[in-house]
Amino acid sequence: MEMNRAREEGKAGRQVQEEPLEPDLPICDAHYHFWERPSGRYMLEDFLGDVAGAGHHVVQTVYSECRSMYRTSGIEEMRPVGETEGVCSIVEQLSSNSQLQPKVASGIVGYADLRLGARAEPVLEAHLAAGKGRFRGIRNVSTWHNNPEVALPAHNTKSLLADSAFRRGFALLKKFDLSFDACLFFPQLPELLDLARAFPETPIILDHAGGILGIGPYAGKSDEVLRAWKKEIEGLASCPNVFVKFGGLGQPNAGFGWHKRPIPPDSIEISEAIAPYLSWCIEQFGAHRCMFESNFPVDRVSYSYSTIWNAFKLVTEHFSPSERSALFHDTATEVYQLSAPRDQSLGA
């Protein structure tokens, strides 16, 4: 599915640019990727181009793993460390601009197979060493589904979060002061709730608003999906160690169909569509446990960088200044323990 999304990037991602709303509002983009694949390329210059073209005040960013830039030799379980090494190498390309350099990948979330149990410890240590002070957490994608229209073959592992070996590896995160990014589909949210209750001292960040689905057996059932998703989100909110990363609704599997349109939606349309989900997350978790993500280049198939941040600003325009500061910047920087200053724009 990622390959199909990458093929669509040029068709939809850059067609519509909007003037930025509230261009001085500081933003931490809490989730994006770099990759170079046969299906498409999205690297530093592409990301910086999207950010600069959008005109929003992006001051910090958190890079999230996507099985990119792995080592091509050596011990198999150590190969994901190559992604952390690669991101740091990319960031070092900006060393000639000391103001810009710390703001790209201020934090890095990498991959280690936590099913290794105790054997995951040296992998975590290697990530921390390679991250040069930027490494903040681990993501194990667990998007399982028995329907082939929904399932992602590369990540289709059933009940990963309940696996005893995985949990032995997960227990190491507290030792290294690392967080966990959970990427799953909404029917798996009860598994995440159980994990969060079992490890109350480990911060867990729920990616992509909890994996809303609108394809396959969920097509045409948005009201039913919303009700079921709301119930699970309410349960997760009872765990103070869980935070929500809002974004990812531009992915085709969310079912909005924006990626199929010859002209992408504008921020008004997007804001109206995502408002029920975003409002519920904030109502349950509070603004100080929610953050925003672009999820680029994956969501780039559906809208431009300028458009999605405008949409987030429209949905939250009636919130207090402190709530908006949390949503757009402070929650992410606190949860991911970022320390870079926020007085310069990314790309300035």
CB within 8 Å of 115: residues ≥ 6 apart: 160, 163, 165, 166, 169
Query: What average pLDDT score do residues 311-321 get?
Result: 97
Query: Is residue 102 a part of any domain in this protein?
Result: yes
Q: What is the pLDDT of residue 15?
A: 61
Q: Residue 96: pLDDT band by 50, 70, 90 thresholds?
A: low
Q: Residue 100: pLDDT band by 50, 70, 90 thresholds?
A: low
Residue that is written with structure tokens 């097509």 in the block? 219
- Tell me how many degrees the CA angle 92-96-98 measures, rounded to the nearest 5: 85
Model confidence at 11: pLDDT above 90: no
pLDDT tens, 121-136?
999 999 999 999 999 9
Q: Residue 95: pLDDT band by 50, 70, 90 thresholds?
A: low
Query: Is residue 342 a part of any domain in this protein?
Result: no
Residue that is written with structure tokens 């994990």 in the block? 195
- Quote the CA–CA distance of 291 and 330 in Å, as a whole number: 8
**Greatest C-alpha distance within the chain:** 53
Q: What is the pLDDT of residue 154?
A: 80
Query: Is residue 347 a part of any domain in this protein?
Result: no
Distances (CA, A) of 12 to 21, 153, 235: 21, 25, 36
Q: What CATH code is carried by the domain that includes residue 179?
A: 3.20.20.140
Query: Is residue 232 a part of any domain in this protein?
Result: yes
Query: Is residue 348 a part of any domain in this protein?
Result: no
pTM of the model: 0.92
Q: What is the pLDDT of residue 6?
A: 36
Per the structure, the complete domain to which residue 200 belongs is given by 2-335
Residue that is written with structure tokens 């325009």 in the block? 317
Query: What average pLDDT score do residues 140-163 get?
Result: 92
The average confidence (pLDDT) of the chain is 91
pLDDT tens, 223-280?
999 999 999 999 999 999 999 999 999 999 999 999 999 999 999 999 999 999 999 9
Three-class SS state of 216: helix
The helix or strand, by DSSP H or E, that contains position 189, with its residue range, turns out to be helix 189-198
Query: Is residue 264 a part of any domain in this protein?
Result: yes
Query: Is residue 344 a part of any domain in this protein?
Result: no
pLDDT: which is higher, 292 or 344:
292
- Quote the CA–CA distance of 167 and 114 in Å, as a whole number: 7
CB within 8 Å of 177: residues ≥ 6 apart: 337
Beta bridge partners of 296: 32
CB within 8 Å of 62: residues ≥ 6 apart: 28, 29, 30, 31, 32, 105, 106, 107, 108, 109, 136, 332, 336, 338
The domain total for the chain is 1
Other Cβ atoms closer than 10 A to 201: 7
Three-class SS state of 133: coil
Query: Is residue 341 a part of any domain in this protein?
Result: no
Q: What is the pLDDT of residue 10?
A: 43
